[in-house]
Every structure is written in structure tokens, then in C-alpha cells.
Amino acid sequence: MLNKNVEAALNEQINAELYSSYLYLSMCAYLQNEGFAGMANWMKIQAQEELTHSNKFFDYVNERGGRVWLKAIDAVPTEFDGPEDVFKLVQEHEQKVTGLVNNLMDVAIAENDHATKSFLQWFIDEQVEEEASVQEIVDSLKLIKGNGHGMLMLDREMKARVFADSTGE
């Protein structure tokens, strides 16, 4: 049976992952409208990935005999100041998510919930990858400095990204 403190924390994370998916879809819509089809593709795949994460948490809570409580998802930004702004916000958001996952691990440790600690290790490792991936894009955008040819090349590169369910579900 899932400890009530752990259950509550996991439910908060389900909501956070759904918010992340919604945020990335909003960014996708903005980038698509601005003519950055490749960057929009990257965001759409990122949104799918976050939805997959929420489902993994959802299934885990149910598997452990807990109850999932879905809440309203907060409104997300819909206007941005260009691709550089979008990816800086993604970077900040992924850092926030890393903090949330680390806090979840702290709750699992405090409650001596070894199964949840094991479950959360995948997400901790995933966040290292998420932050590194976004950092690479932010660094590329800094080097490009809005140069049209560089933006075109980066956008085309990002169009090649395809969704792969890394959760093993």
C-alpha cells in the first residue's frame, strides 16, 4: 500500500507533468505560427514525452494501491519573444522539474519507501538528460545569435527528432 504522503506527492507530480505537456504544446503552437516547423516538432515531441511521464506516475500510483486525484491544469503562457526566449523558458522549466523530482525522492526517503525510491531513480536520471538536451539547444542559439542561416539549419536539425517512449511502457 502506498504511503499517504508519498501518494499526495506523486499526485502533485502527475499534475506537474501534465502542465509540462500543456506548456510544450503551447510553445509548439507559437513556434509553428512563427515558421519554425522543426522547433515546433521538437516541442510537440517534448509534450508527448511529458504526457508519457504523467502516465508512468499515474500507473505507478494505481499499481501501489493509491488513488490518483487529477486537478485543473494552470494556464500556460501563449506568447513568447522568439525561439531564444522559448528555449530559455524550457531550460528554466526543466530545472524546476528536476527540483520537483528531487523533492519527491526526499519524501520517499523520509517515508522509507524503497519501491518509490527505485521508481523515481529513472526520473532523476531522465532529468539529467532533459537538462543537457535543452542546454545544448540554448548554447546553439547563443552561438547563432539570430542569424538566419544558423536558425534555418538548427530548425531543420530539430525537425528530425522523433518520439521514442523512453519510459519502457
Average pLDDT over residues 10-24: 98
The CA dihedral of 83, 88, 89, 91, to the nearest 10 degrees, is 130
What pLDDT, on the 0 to 100 scale, is given for residue 105? 98
What pLDDT, on the 0 to 100 scale, is given for residue 1? 84
What pLDDT, on the 0 to 100 scale, is given for residue 169? 60
Residues 4-159, CATH architecture: Up-down Bundle (1.20)
Q: In this predicted model, which residue has the larger pLDDT, 151 or 117?
A: 117
Q: Residue 147 — pLDDT band, cuts 50, 70, 90?
A: confident
Residue 129 pLDDT > 80, yes or no?
A: yes
Average pLDDT over residues 10-32: 98
Residue 55 pLDDT > 90, yes or no?
A: yes
Average pLDDT over residues 78-107: 97
CA distance 159 to 150: 14
User: Given its phi and psi angles, is residue 65 left (phi above 0), alpha (psi -120 to 50 degrees) or beta?
Assistant: left
Across the chain, where does the E strand assignment appear?
none
What ranges do the domains of the chain cover? 4-159
